[in-house]
Chains A and B, each alone.
Chain A
Amino acid sequence: MTLDLLPVGQRAHITAVDWAALVPDEAQRLQALGLDVGARVALAHCGVLGGRDPLAVTIGRMTVALRRAHARAMTVSELAG
């Protein structure tokens, strides 16, 4: 499953990231914010209206906004609880 499909509130950890699918600069920004293999994340909010874009993801004690397209490059596996 990819991060954009994660139900809101469900905790998960990132198992793989398809860095090639992202613009290099954006990949670097995501990595700098801790969105990398092994990170524990949860989907906190979906954006407004039609596209339900962007997404707000909690990682540690931080919330990061990113586009659905970025989340699609991240494979996650759900954590219990």
Chain B
Amino acid sequence: MTGLRSAALVGNPNAGKSALFNALTGARQKIANYPGVTVERKAGRLVLPTGEAIELTDLPGSYGLKATSPDEEVTRKVILGEFPGEPAPHVLVVVLDASNLEQHLVFAQEIIALGRPVVVALNMVDLAERDGLVLDPAALQEALGVPVIATVAVRRRGLAELAAAIATAEARPPEHHRPHVDQTERRLTAHAITAAAIISETARHRLHSKLDRVLLHPWLGPLILFALLFVVFQAVFSGAAPLVDGLNNAIGALGDWVKTVLPPSLARDLLTDGIIAGVGSVITFLPQIIILFFFILVLEATGYMARAAFLMDRMMAAVGLSGRSFIPLLSSFACAIPGIMATRSIADPKDRLTTILIAPLMTCSARLPVYAVLIAAFIPPKSLAGGIGLQGLVLFILYLSGIVSAMVIALVLRRTVTKGAASGFIMELPKYQLPTLKDIALGLWQRALIFLRRAGTIIFMVTVVLWLLLNFPRAAPGEDQVDASIAGHIANGLAVVVKPIGFNRDMALALIPAMAAREVAVSSLATTYAVSAPDDAAVAVKLGDQLKANWSLPTALAFLAWFVFAPQCMSTIAVTRRETNGWKWPIFMLGYLFALAYIFAGLTYWTAVWLGLG
């Protein structure tokens, strides 16, 4: 390994560990996965007052060393040094929520009893004081026998003291004299220690119970949730528009500039028609992805996400899932990969598998480029009754189709392949909190980086390969370049299969690279039409207009329907394989999504033709 000494943050969920982690390590973080599992491993560098730098990891929140979910299992193994390739951290930093001490002290006692160097961070003391609870860290230190530092991560209070305590933390002998302390005993001790550490406790004007009265109201609550989701999606689609246009123009200008400075050549065409047109068309969707993740991060940081899970539980129970599945599914609207990774908090294995299998049906942001281009080209910007735009309505229907099919498929799966006892729903509802700008900004930065890395690697490579396949062998004069190319020949073969559902050759051509990443469908179409255009003036015609000239309305609608179910990208398949430990489920997923995509694209096409829309 790195040879650095290491420390790990441990504690119950909602102890404010992540905020403390961000405050201690700043932006110098590395997010990866623990080998073999998709539990995120967050590590960063912490410089101690001695000048020594140590590696600090943020372990998944856990209620005890006896694990009930995959992420708690990781925490247990890392703490005990049983995780392969992951040495046990030298110092354990137990993070406690000051206003929920009695609960959090149960796990803390279990950690302290291990006899390893431990430092306790009494976190969020400001929120406890807001609730009328004043604690005495010294009394707590006395009772626990390890250093206790009061911290407020978001205000950077107590951080230097905590770092100093980590530097000097020492091992104590494990509690051999009381080998069989059980959960009930620890709870009694926790109660006694808490009572002794309280300096004053006034009538609590608890803000969050007042908020809950409104937000968890039997009918007001769901109404607020749906209004909120509406605002989120509205912001994603209309709020991002000016930014998307700006990026589009910038990329167009870049392509034009390259054309003026470089002499005409095949290499220049690769740069402008292949790389800039292809990768550029994907990068323009960064604003939408950032806006969606912004809302997800804020909803999580404020504590509302758990309430959303509470409100959705009834509905999810109807299809055999629980409210816990709501958070992964909502994340899947941004991208199925973090969504599938978020299923690790679902304790029930069959529940979790079902959620993974339906996650790709949530319309991820990568499909948005495909929808956006086609809707703009084929759906007139008419206004319906009540000021609802027709384009927006179509987009809404596409999203809704994904959600409805996911629910139907969950119901079917729970009765067939993932059959089992209906899962329960047990979840702590954390306190409401104001999110800190820094934590949100850091989270967004990390997500944007992941997306751009994809654009720079997978999407870049696919675009270049496609351009090469499209341009070689060169067409004879008078012959169409796409028809002559290798890609054209492949697509002509594939076109036979997709012809019954109304797809033409260019679409068949776009479907192949779309397997790498769905948004590539757009860049592939852009590349294809740029290559087949007879001159530069034709290249300049916008992709939307190109599509309108080449596709019929039923064809476009069928293509939209295809992408509701579109077999998910390689990365999703890879993450599913890792998460389900084998090829069985990703192949099942691929198969059922392909079948549904084909059937529904066909149904859409035939219906549209029958209605005379062609």
User: Which residues of A line the B interface, CB within 8 A?
Assistant: 23, 25-26, 28-34, 36-37, 44-54, 56, 58-67, 69-70
Cβ contacts A to B, 5 pairs, < 8 Å: A30-B426, A56-B212, A64-B429, A65-B309, A67-B317
Q: Is the CB of A46 within 8 A of B218?
A: yes
Closest 4 CB pairs of A and B: A32-B63, A63-B429, A45-B216, A65-B427
Q: Is the CB of B103 within 8 A of A48?
A: no
Q: Is the CB of A29 within 8 A of B103?
A: no
Q: Is the CB of B216 within 8 A of A56?
A: yes
Residues of chain A with a CB closer than 8 A to B480's CB? none
Given contacts A25-B68, A48-B218, A54-B313, contact A65 B426 (CB under 8 A): yes
Q: Is the CB of A54 within 8 A of B310?
A: yes
Q: Is the CB of B429 within 8 A of A61?
A: no
Residues of chain A with a CB closer than 8 A to B172's CB? none
Q: Is the CB of A54 within 8 A of B425?
A: yes
Shortest distance between the CB of A59 and any CB in chain B (Å): 8
Residues of chain A with a CB closer than 8 A to B428's CB? 33, 62-65
Residues of chain B with a CB closer than 8 A to A66's CB? 424-427
Interface check B347, CB cutoff 8 A = yes
Q: Is the CB of B313 within 8 A of A36?
A: no
Interface size class of B (residues with CB under 8 A): 35 or more
Q: Is the CB of A28 within 8 A of B66?
A: yes
Q: Is the CB of B219 within 8 A of A48?
A: yes
Q: How far is the CA of A26 from the CA of B280 in the complex (A)?
A: 49
Interface check B268, CB cutoff 8 A = no
* New A-B pairs, 20, CB < 8 Å, besides A33-B426, A67-B424: A23-B421, A33-B103, A34-B102, A34-B187, A36-B183, A37-B184, A45-B212, A45-B310, A46-B218, A47-B313, A48-B219, A54-B314, A56-B216, A59-B103, A61-B133, A62-B103, A62-B428, A63-B428, A64-B429, A65-B310
- Nearest neighbor of A63 in chain B, beta-carbon distance: B429
Q: Is the CB of A36 within 8 A of B184?
A: yes
Interface check B222, CB cutoff 8 A = yes
Interface check B323, CB cutoff 8 A = yes
**Residue from the list B133, B208, B311 in contact with A48, Cβ < 8 A:** B311
Q: From residue 196 to 240 of chain B, which have CB atoms closer than 8 A to chain A? A: 204, 208-209, 212-213, 216, 218-219, 221-222
Interface check B99, CB cutoff 8 A = yes
**Residue from the list A44, A45, A46, A70 in contact with B426, Cβ < 8 A:** A70
Residues of chain B with a CB closer than 8 A to A31's CB? 183
Q: Is the CB of A32 within 8 A of B64?
A: yes
- Nearest neighbor of A34 in chain B, beta-carbon distance: B103
Interface check B306, CB cutoff 8 A = yes
- Nearest neighbor of B184 in chain A, beta-carbon distance: A36
Shortest distance between the CB of A50 and any CB in chain B (Å): 8
Q: Is the CB of A60 within 8 A of B103?
A: yes
Q: How far is the CA of A28 from the CA of B106 in the complex (A)?
A: 14
Shortest distance between the CB of A11 and any CB in chain B (Å): 13
Q: B133, B208, B317, B425: which has the most chain A beta carbons within 10 Å?
A: B425
Q: How far is the CA of A58 from the CA of B184 in the complex (A)?
A: 19
Interface check B607, CB cutoff 8 A = no
Q: Is the CB of A26 within 8 A of B424?
A: yes
Q: How far is the CA of A67 from the CA of B322 in the complex (A)?
A: 10
Interface check B581, CB cutoff 8 A = no
Shortest distance between the CB of B185 and any CB in chain A (Å): 12
Shortest distance between the CB of A16 and any CB in chain B (Å): 14
Interface check B131, CB cutoff 8 A = yes
Q: Is the CB of B424 within 8 A of A49?
A: no
Residues of chain B with a CB closer than 8 A to A58's CB? 209
Q: How far is the CA of A58 from the CA of B348 in the complex (A)?
A: 24
Q: From residue 283 to 303 of chain B, which have CB atoms closer than 8 A to chain A? A: none
Q: How far is the CA of A36 from the CA of B103 in the complex (A)?
A: 12
- Nearest neighbor of A47 in chain B, beta-carbon distance: B314
Residues of chain B with a CB closer than 8 A to A52's CB? 218
- Nearest neighbor of B66 in chain A, beta-carbon distance: A28
Residues of chain A with a CB closer than 8 A to B168's CB? none
Q: How far is the CA of A65 from the CA of B314 in the complex (A)?
A: 12
Shortest distance between the CB of A28 and any CB in chain B (Å): 6
Shortest distance between the CB of A68 and any CB in chain B (Å): 10
Shortest distance between the CB of B200 and any CB in chain A (Å): 15
Residues of chain B with a CB closer than 8 A to A25's CB? 68, 347-348
Q: How far is the CA of A52 from the CA of B55 in the complex (A)?
A: 47
Q: How far is the CA of A34 from the CA of B133 in the complex (A)?
A: 20
Q: How far is the CA of A50 from the CA of B317 in the complex (A)?
A: 12
**Residue from the list A48, A60, A63 in contact with B222, Cβ < 8 A:** A48
Interface check B446, CB cutoff 8 A = no
Q: From residue 312 to 358 of chain B, which have CB atoms closer than 8 A to chain A? A: 313-314, 317, 323, 347-348
Q: How far is the CA of A60 from the CA of B429 in the complex (A)?
A: 13
Q: How far is the CA of A12 from the CA of B523 in the complex (A)?
A: 62
